């Protein structure tokens, strides 16, 4: 009996999750990247930051997103980082796992004297763990790369599906 109830609960949970990834739904995703154990090949320091994404599902399981964020790194030279960009996500049916890609314009400040702007490409893989019908906890692993450096990190966000 317990196995049947567990199976029924899993089927209901995946059906509820699938309903959130339908065409016409909206997604807002603020994320704290301070849990982001980022390793930056240029500064070789961990960083703290935040990110916000928002967008719409253009088709079932496919979302187009606009993102923005900021990050700070304390090392030999204090570095501020700000970015804005576009991206997309594909949600694998009925499981909440997603894969995404993005293209960002990043601005760096080094020692308040040297500034640099780069175009970066990023990939991410995560999981939307639904806490309620419209709120999900979304841990993810990401990788951002440009001509100067690459970053590999973890982030933790909340997804609000409307």
Contact between 158 and 131 under an 8 Å Cβ cutoff? The reply is no
Instruction: Give the pLDDT of residue 29.
Output: 92
Instruction: Give the pLDDT of residue 45.
Output: 63
Q: How many independent structural domains does the chain possess? A: 1
DSSP string for 84-114 = EEEEEEEEPTTT-EEEEEEEEEEEEEETTTE
Lowest mean pLDDT among 10-14, 122-126, 152-156: 10-14
Global pTM reads 0.77
Measured from the Cβ of residue 67, the count of other Cβ atoms closer than 10 Å reads 21
Per the prediction, the chain carries an average pLDDT of 80
User: pLDDT tens, 2-16?
Assistant: 666 544 444 444 444
User: pLDDT tens, 62-89?
Assistant: 999 999 998 877 665 557 788 999 999 9
Which CATH number is 101's domain given? Answer: 2.40.160.20
At which residue do the structure tokens 């790369």 appear?
Answer: 145
Domain extent for 67: 2-161
Q: Which two tokens stand for residue 148?
A: 């100067």
């Amino acid at each position: 009996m317990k196995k049947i109830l567990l199976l029924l609960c899993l089927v209901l949970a995946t059906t509820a999750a699938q309903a959130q990834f339908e065409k016409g739904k909206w997604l807002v995703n603020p994320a704290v990247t301070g849990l982001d154990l980022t390793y930056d090949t240029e500064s070789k320091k961990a960083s703290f930051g935040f990110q916000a994404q928002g967008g719409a599902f253009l088709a079932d399981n496919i979302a187009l997103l606009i993102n923005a964020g900021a990050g700070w790194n304390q090392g030999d030279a204090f570095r501020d980082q700000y970015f804005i960009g576009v991206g997309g996500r594909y949600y694998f049916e009925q499981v909440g796992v997603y894969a995404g890609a993005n293209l960002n314009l990043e601005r760096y400040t080094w020692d308040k004297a040297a500034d640099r702007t780069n175009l970066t490409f990023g990939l991410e893989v995560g999981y939307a763990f639904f806490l309620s019908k419209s709120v999900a906890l979304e841990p993810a692993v990401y990788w951002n790369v440009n001509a100067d450096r690459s970053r590999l990190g973890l982030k933790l966000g909340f997804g609000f599906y409307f």
